[in-house]
Amino acid sequence: MAHEINNPITYVLANLAELSHSCAALADVLAGYRAALRRVARGEAEALISDVESKLDDCGGLELAADLLSDATEGAQRIRDLVRDLLSLSRSSAERATTRLAIGDVLEETLRLVARSLSARAELTRDLQATREIAGDPTRLGQVFLNLLQNAIDACASAAATGGAAAHRIHVRTRDTSTGVQIEIEDTGPGVPPELTPRLFAPFVTTKSQAQGTGLGLYISRQIVAEHGGTLELVQAPGRGAVFRVELPGLV
């Protein structure tokens, strides 16, 4: 079922992206026509431009089209993410593509994926000191870090929306341990409510609204880490914020 949904939603997202580019191109064309009319029609230009723009306004204008496209794209992306989580639930550990890898490389790739949304909501700091290699599936581990980083970004956005314009930070750090590597992702968001902490990694538990999250991200992330012989836990940060800590065994 998840595979059957995944293919059409990929086409929907691709077409929405093309429509978004078309709207932007149309806005540029209209701006060019306005300038050309003012050069050619002179005194009559403003009346002609006003007539065209009133017709556009009657159907909401290009701004409404852009907003509708943005909402549709966000909805389609949520469907895609839910399908990804469902596929992760159904994928057996035997299907993992295990390879020798450096955890810093997986983190850097994931940070590139969220760079735009992260920079808009928080300041990123890195302290990637781990040097030990591990055996793992970079795609599956990337999914873990993507989930944790997206949660941190959402937490900072939530804190900014309710607590003024104070700057928020996301800190990513790694270090070698006696048994492998430790990865921590810390944010300065509102933290996890104490009553939610005991069941935070259970399926369908989330601090977000139903429109923002499925409650599967942390549950799946802990499963993936466990498949790699590691652990994932929440460490409450002092004051506001949260730290999610991943421990993975290293190669001898």
* Tens of pLDDT, residue by residue, the chain (252 residues): 666 777 788 888 888 888 888 888 888 888 887 788 777 777 777 777 777 778 777 777 777 888 888 878 877 877 877 777 777 666 655 556 689 999 999 999 999 888 888 888 899 999 999 999 999 999 889 889 989 999 999 888 877 666 554 678 999 999 999 999 999 999 998 888 888 888 888 887 776 655 555 678 898 899 999 999 999 999 876 667 899 999 999 997
- Amino acid of residue 246: V
What angle (nearest 5°) sits at the alpha carbon of residue 223, between those of residues 145 and 131?
45
What CATH number does the domain located at 97-249 have?
Answer: 3.30.565.10
Domain ranges of the chain: 2-90, 97-249
State pTM to two decimals. 0.67
162-168, long-range: CB within 8 Å, 24+ apart, which pairs? 162/190, 163/190, 167/122, 167/123, 168/121, 168/122, 168/123
Give the 3-state secondary structure of residue 38: helix
